[in-house]
Amino acid sequence: MTGTLRPAMLPWIVAGIVVLALNLRTPIIAPTAVLGDIRADTGLSAAGAGLLTGLPVLLFALATPLASKTIRRLGAETTVLMCLSGVLVGTVLRSVGPTWLILLGTGVIGLAITLGNIVVPVIIRREVPWNQVGMVTGLYSAMMNVGSMVTLIGTGPLAALVGWRWAIGLWAVLALLGLGYWMILIRTRIRRTPIDGAAGDTAGAEAGAPAVSRTAEAKRPWREVSPEFRRIVVLLVITFSGQSIAYYTTTTWLPSILADTARLDPALAGGTASLFQVSAIVGAFGVPLLAARSRPWVPVAIVAALWLSLPLGMLTAPDAYVVWAVTGGIAQGGGFTAILSIIARTAGSDRETASGSARVQGGGYLAATLAPPFAGWLATVTHGWVVPQLLVLAATLSFTVAGLLAARIAGRMGPRRLA
């Protein structure tokens, strides 16, 4: 909210973050469960069907500067409402129209979710006491994975009952509920302050977080942001790119890898690959619990080791694929949480949070757009999955090096809050 809220409001804000998180992956995942039905009904090619998931991720990369500017000009609350409204409208358009409207709705969803991706770290930094930032970020990450899992489980049976259009359209109810909740939540704010006011800053200051001047810090252009924070952002661009390459390449190709190398049937391969998604919840909550009891680099190091175990394990001990799917899943949930937590804890203002998050996520999602097709091309050219898994290994190595460096700088800076 644009005002400083009493601590009693914090649970309601966290609930709002949960509701928002459930809407940030559900619209993308829903069509993947019924792609065959969509193609059969609309005549979409394989490439066209791929746009239903690929286009939003591409927009995550290209539209992040627009999202950052929207937050600065209109405020976080308006941005949240725009996000949920866009998800609602895009989901409806995609489920009622011809092929061109399906793609248009998909584009609207991608733009809307981009706003959500960038605004959530701003809200967490501003509203949540600094010593709870990691846990709330972990909850946010976990709820996105829960939303993905529920959508994968529910869309297929819904399609069997009511058809694919209703099956993917009914998820708009989540956006409608989220929109209503946030409209009520915004109206309950107690005091009004500018966008760079920190609703959680009072709590953060009471917990011992050093404060920085709003006038000196909040309105600075990016070139005048502290050198330490700029270095962190550069390193986190590399870290998030490694995270995104490893995550999206594995998400796209792990079922095929298991089918080809472990000789699993498609259903079992898909079920095993789903462990990669479900296990993320452990990492999302484990990282903030560990961070509260250790130096900032420790959870990053553990996540990096788990990430490295996935490609190394699949290359050297492929029969233990269940273990590597679980360790990789824990890593992807923990890595996302660790990256966003570092941004939220070290940014000096909402504007820094939005700008830093836009840069980090823009670079990472651009890598995510390019990596899966490149890995598929490598598999075709080399007639196997060794080289694509070496690509994942290189990505996890970049996550390790850049992430540890960013965490060490963040540890020296400590949490920053506006005075």
Tokens representing residue 49 in the block? 């069907």
Distance CA 388, CA 324 (A): 16
Sign for the CA dihedral angle at 388, 392, 397, 398 comes to positive
Residues 6+ apart with CB under 8 A from 248: 57, 368, 371, 372
Domain boundaries defined on the chain: 10-190, 225-418
**Residue-by-residue pLDDT tens, the chain, 419 positions:** 544 445 678 899 999 999 999 999 889 888 877 877 888 898 887 667 777 878 888 898 899 889 989 998 999 999 999 999 999 999 999 999 888 999 999 999 999 999 999 999 899 988 888 788 888 988 998 899 888 878 877 888 898 899 999 999 999 999 999 999 999 999 886 444 444 444 444 344 334 444 444 444 445 556 667 888 899 999 999 999 999 999 988 887 888 888 888 888 766 777 787 888 889 999 999 998 888 888 889 999 999 999 999 999 999 999 999 999 999 999 999 999 999 889 888 887 878 888 888 899 899 989 888 888 888 889 989 999 999 999 999 999 999 999 999 999 988 876 654 43
Condensed to tens digits (0 to 9), the pLDDT of residues 280-337 reads 999 999 998 888 888 889 999 999 999 999 999 999 999 999 999 999 999 999 999 9
Task: Tell me if 125 sits within 8 A of 133, measured CB to CB.
Answer: yes
| Cβ neighbours around 120 below 10 Å, total | 27
Residues sharing a CB contact under 8 Å with residue 221, sequence separation 6 or more, in sequence order? none
Helices (H) and strands (E) in the chain, counts: 19, 2
377-393 burial, b if ≥16 CB within 10 A, otherwise e? ebbeeeeebeebbebbb
Token readout for 76 is 């976080």
CA distance 360 to 370: 16
Furthest C-alpha separation in the chain: 62
Tell me: the pLDDT tens digits for 207-230?
444 444 444 444 555 666 788 889
Q: Are 398 and 242 in contact (CB under 8 A)?
A: yes
Strand partners, 418: 212
Spatial separation of the C-alpha atoms in residues 71 and 59, rounded to whole Å: 17
Structure tokens at 57: 């991720």
Q: What is the CATH topology of the domain spanning 10-190?
A: Growth Hormone; Chain: A; (1.20.1250)
pTM: 0.78
- Give the Cα separation of 109 and 89 in Å (integer): 8
Look at residues 64, 83, 49 and name the one whose alpha carbon lies nearest to residue 244. 64
Return the CATH fold of 225-418.
Growth Hormone; Chain: A; (1.20.1250)
Can you tell me the distance from the alpha carbon of 393 to that of 387, in angstroms, rounded to the nearest whole number? 10
Do domains 10-190 and 225-418 share one topology? The answer is yes
Give SS3 for 1: coil
Please report how many Cα atoms fall inside a 13 Å half-sphere around the Cα of residue 166, on the Cβ side: 7
